[in-house]
Chains A and B, each alone.
Chain A
Amino acid sequence: MSVQTLLDVLDRAHTGPVCSVKDWDMKVIPSKVLEKLREHGLTGACTPENPINSDDSLADEFWRAGFELAVDVGMICLDTERVIKFTEEELKGAIRNAPSELVLGEGLDRVLMKARKPEDKIRPLYCAPIGVEASEDLWIPLIQGIAQHRAVDMIQGCSLRTVLGRQLRSGTPYETLAGRVQAEMHREALWRAGRPGMCATSVITSPTVYGQLGGYGVPGGYRTSDLALVLSPAELKTSYVSLHKVVHAINCGGNIFAGSSSVIGGYAGPVEGSTIAMVASALLQIAVHQSGWGSCSVIDMRYNGNCGRDAQWAISVAYQGITRNASLMTQCVLNQVAGPCTDMLLYESAVGMANLSVSGLSFSIGPRSAGGKYADYMSPLECKFCAEVFKSSAGMRREEANELANALLPKYEDKLRNPPKGKNFTECYDLKALRPTKEWLETYLRVKNELIDLGMSLE
Chain B
Amino acid sequence: MRDPLSNQKVLDNLIQAIISGDEAEAKKITEEALGAGMAPLDLVQKGAVKAMDILGEKWRKFEIFLSHVMLAAEAMKSVMAILLPKIAAEQKRRISLGKVVLGTVSGDIHDIGKNIVATLLSVAGFEVHDIGVDIPSKDFIEKAKELNADIIAMSCLLSTSMYFQKDIIQYLKDAGLREKYYVIVGGGPVTADWASEIGADGWGKYASDAVTVCRELVTGDVRPPLLKPVLVGE
Enumerate chain A interface residues (CB-CB to B < 8 A). Answer: 21, 25-27, 29-30, 78, 133, 159, 161, 167-172, 175, 205, 207-208, 233-234, 239, 241, 263, 265-267, 269-270, 273, 301-302, 304, 371-375, 417
Contacts and interface: CB of A to CB of B under 8 A. Distances in A.
Nearest to A263: B112
A110 B108 CA distance: 34
A205 B71 contact: no
Contact of B66 (A168, A267, A302): A267
Given A234-B112, A241-B109, 10 more contacts: A25-B67, A168-B163, A170-B160, A233-B110, A265-B62, A265-B66, A267-B66, A269-B67, A373-B191, A374-B191
A302 to B, nearest CB: 7
A280 to B, nearest CB: 16
B161 A170 contact: yes
A8 B172 CA distance: 46
Interface in B109-144: 109-112, 115-116, 134
Q: Which of A133, A172, A175, A301 has the most CB of B within 10 A?
A: A301
A29 B116 CA distance: 16
A167 B163 contact: yes
Contacts of A371: 188
A281 to B, nearest CB: 14
Contacts of A301: 66, 112, 116, 207
Contact of B107 (A25, A78, A207, A263): A207
A270 B70 contact: no
23 contacts: A25-B70, A30-B68, A78-B109, A172-B107, A207-B107, A233-B109, A233-B110, A239-B109, A241-B109, A265-B66, A266-B65, A266-B66, A266-B67, A269-B65, A269-B66, A269-B67, A270-B65, A301-B207, A304-B206, A372-B189, A374-B189, A375-B159, A417-B206
Nearest to A417: B206
Interface string B161-188: 1011000000000000000000000001
A340 B126 CA distance: 39
Interface in B35-69: 62, 65-68
Q: Which of B62, B106, B164, B191 has the most CB of A within 10 A?
A: B62
The 3 closest A-B pairs by CB, nearest first: A170-B107, A171-B107, A30-B67
Interface residues of B, number: 29
B189 A133 contact: yes
Contacts of B22: none
A304 B209 CA distance: 14
Contacts of A168: 160, 163
Interface string B140-166: 000000000000000000111101100
A170 B110 CA distance: 13
B129 to A, nearest CB: 14
Contacts of B109: 78, 233, 239, 241
Contacts of A175: 107, 160
Nearest to B206: A304
B107 A169 contact: yes
Contacts of B189: 133, 372-374
Contact of A233 (B71, B74, B111, B206): B111
Contacts of A26: 67, 70-71, 74
Nearest to B72: A26
Contacts of B66: 263, 265-267, 269, 301
A267 B67 contact: yes
Nearest to A266: B66
Given A161-B159, A169-B161, A234 B67 contact: no
A273 B68 CA distance: 13
B67 A169 contact: no
B111 A234 contact: yes
Contacts of B158: 170, 207
A169 B162 CA distance: 8
Nearest to B73: A26
A239 B133 CA distance: 12
Contacts of A161: 159
Interface in B70-113: 70-71, 74, 106-112
Contacts of B134: 171
Contacts of A267: 66-67, 112
A5 to B, nearest CB: 24
Nearest to A163: B160
Contacts of A25: 67, 70, 111, 115
